[in-house]
């Protein structure tokens, strides 16, 4: 029997003792009338008035000194020292010593008291068990050091690591600040389907599942785009959604398969106006969530304030590889990929993928913040072509520390053009590119009713992880893990 199993067995005996004494080890309610944070905030007044308060929380430490027990109690707001004295509690003190361990939740009633060492404490005159834990929490000084174990037992990681707990709260604030920013500008928050007959709005390999009631295979959405653009057709001019999307692709320090994304759509606007708005939104989020616009990301010093750089996609590719993405072919691109020792799949490579691989080879050198513009039209099937040069689209991507950190464009609303581009994408899928977009003919039908000029933008939780300068898995509350079995 392992040490952990022995400890669990001993704690089960204590559960039995409580039950024998007619005490429920897991009561449904508590008489708590104040949180630890409020207790500490009002401590001087409570101590002066000798007010009796009832708090509840988890015992993080226990220190026994003869007839006195000191413990640190944590309720999720703050932690406080409590003192139990044998002379004052009698049999209750003996029961506490017999059945209570670190990790247990208890309710404590008592008065505020400052110790000789100046520590704000609660002298307990009555206590009650709330939850008997069956296994001990790891030592706070050592915690969970193995990354795999930390992610599997993230609840313990959060409990013991204040930085991780703060990250969970900060993540919530990140999305809510973004939400409030959009709501204050008359955007309507919407919910769109997670299960789709046809995926769209991005180039990604989807997850497939089966719908038993309808007896059809369906896809988990890879984007929030096409449904919201249907709402532009429907006459709701400003929408946004913050939701989960799913992409059955590889994993890296900045790529996940299921993650949170925000997309908004704004009728009667274009990508130039969108740039100004997104610029302002990112600065607002940074200031409200992190209290600064200056960040260190991957050893790069980034300041979101002030003017941002503008990068021309085609100029950059031409400068680095002596090839013009607007006037090239697949054979020429494959030749450069081979020279640059960039791996590609001979069976599925096409011009779009090849040029994208060239860009990915050099993008790390663009720290930003900046806007990447003038992407070739053949690489963006949902964006409107530029009137100045129809070979490129009215699209931008935000560059931050060498990675794309959001994308927006003037939405293509010409149903004939959109159909042609979808059919081209479908031909790429049929040729083996399972990340090419599907031809969503239902969406084409919606466009035929007419969609106003529209700007759309999307950003994922990658932005949050970058501003924290953390691996994206670390920045999730519960990252997906492979089963131990």
117 lies in the same domain as 222: no
390 lies in the same domain as 258: yes
Asked if residues 254 and 468 have their Cβ atoms less than 8 Å apart, the reply is no
- The encoded tokens of residue 201 equal 């709005």
Q: Could you tell me if residue 47 is inside a domain?
A: yes
75 lies in the same domain as 200: no
450 lies in the same domain as 402: yes
User: pLDDT under 70 in the chain at which residues?
Assistant: 140-145, 485
The three-class DSSP label of residue 295 is strand
Identify the H or E element spanning 273.
helix 271-285
Residue-level pLDDT at 143: 57
110 lies in the same domain as 18: yes
Q: Could you tell me if residue 320 is inside a domain?
A: no
Q: Could you tell me if residue 171 is inside a domain?
A: yes
202 lies in the same domain as 275: yes
Q: Which residue has the tokens 């409580």?
A: 18
Q: Dump pLDDT digits (tens) for 209-240.
A: 999 999 999 999 999 999 999 999 999 999 99
Tell me how crowded residue 344 is: count the other CB atoms within 10 A of its CB: 15
Tell me the CATH number at 456: 3.30.930.10
Q: Could you tell me if residue 355 is inside a domain?
A: no
65 lies in the same domain as 176: no
Q: Is the dihedral of CA 226, 231, 232, 234 positive or negative?
A: positive
167 lies in the same domain as 94: no
Domain boundary among 113, 131, 149: 131
Q: Which residues contact 423 (CB under 8 A, 6 or more apart)?
A: 439
Tell me the CATH number at 115: 2.40.50.140
Q: Could you tell me if residue 124 is inside a domain?
A: yes
Q: Could you tell me if residue 400 is inside a domain?
A: yes
100 lies in the same domain as 195: no
Q: Is the pTM of this model over 0.85?
A: yes
Domain boundary among 114, 131, 148: 131
Q: Could you tell me if residue 460 is inside a domain?
A: yes
231 lies in the same domain as 89: no
Please tell me the total count of domains within the chain: 2
303 lies in the same domain as 436: yes
Q: What is the rounded distance in angstroms from the CA atom of residue 32 to the CA atom of residue 237?
A: 48
117 lies in the same domain as 174: no
Residue-level pLDDT at 203: 81
Tell me which residue range forms the domain holding 67: 3-131
CA distances from 362 to 209, 303, 316, 425, 465 (A): 37, 22, 9, 26, 22
* Residue 393 bridge partners (DSSP): 385
Q: Could you tell me if residue 349 is inside a domain?
A: no
């Amino acid at each position: 029997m392992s040490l952990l199993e022995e400890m669990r067995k001993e704690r089960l005996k204590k559960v039995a003792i409580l039950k024998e004494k007619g005490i429920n080890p897991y009561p449904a309610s508590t008489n708590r009338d104040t949180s630890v944070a409020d207790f500490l905030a009002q401590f001087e007044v409570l101590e002066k008035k000798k007010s009796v308060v009832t708090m509840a929380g988890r015992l993080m430490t226990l220190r026994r000194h003869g007839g006195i027990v000191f413990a640190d109690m944590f309720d999720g707001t703050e932690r406080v020292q409590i003192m139990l004295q044998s002379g004052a509690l009698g049999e209750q003190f003996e029961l506490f010593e017999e059945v209570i361990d670190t990790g247990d939740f208890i309710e404590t009633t008592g008065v505020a008291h400052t110790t000789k060492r100046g520590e704000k404490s609660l002298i307990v005159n009555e206590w009650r068990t709330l939850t008997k834990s069956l296994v001990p929490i790891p030592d706070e000084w050592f915690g969970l050091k193995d990354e795999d174990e930390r992610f599997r037992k993230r609840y313990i990681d959060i409990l013991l690591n204040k930085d991780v707990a703060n990250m969970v709260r900060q993540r919530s604030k990140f999305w809510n600040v973004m939400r409030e920013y959009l709501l204050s500008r008359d955007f309507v928050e919407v919910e769109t389907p997670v299960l789709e007959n046809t995926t769209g709005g991005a180039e990604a390999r989807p997850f497939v599942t089966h719908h038993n009631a309808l007896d059809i295979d369906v896809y988990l959405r890879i984007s929030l785009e096409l449904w919201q653009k249907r709402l532009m057709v429907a006459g709701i001019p400003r929408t946004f959604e913050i939701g989960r999307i799913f992409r059955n692709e590889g994993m890296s320090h900045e790529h996940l398969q299921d993650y949170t994304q925000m997309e908004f759509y704004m009728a009667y606007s274009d990508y130039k106006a969108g740039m100004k708005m997104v610029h302002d939104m990112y600065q607002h989020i940074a200031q409200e969530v992190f209290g600064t616009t200056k960040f260190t990301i991957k050893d790069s010093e980034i300041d979101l304030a002030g003017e941002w750089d503008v990068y021309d996609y085609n100029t950059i590719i031409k400068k680095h590889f002596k090839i013009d993405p607007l006037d090239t072919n697949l054979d020429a691109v494959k030749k450069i990929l081979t020279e640059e020792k960039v791996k590609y799949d001979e069976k599925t490579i096409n011009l779009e993928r090849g040029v994208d691989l060239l860009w990915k080879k050099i993008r790390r050198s663009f720290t930003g913040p900046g806007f990447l513009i003038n992407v070739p039209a053949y690489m963006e099937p949902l964006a409107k072509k530029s009137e100045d040069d129809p070979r490129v689209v009215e699209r931008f991507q935000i560059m931050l520390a060498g990675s794309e950190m959001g994308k927006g464009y003037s939405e293509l609303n010409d149903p004939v053009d959109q159909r042609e581009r979808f059919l081209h994408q479908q031909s790429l899928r049929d040729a083996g590119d399972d990340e090419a977009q599907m031809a969503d003919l239902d969406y084409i039908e919606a466009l035929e009713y007419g969609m106003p000029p529209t700007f759309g933008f999307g950003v994922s939780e990658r932005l949050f992880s970058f501003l924290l300068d953390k691996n994206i898995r670390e920045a999730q509350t519960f990252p997906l893990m492979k089963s131990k079995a």
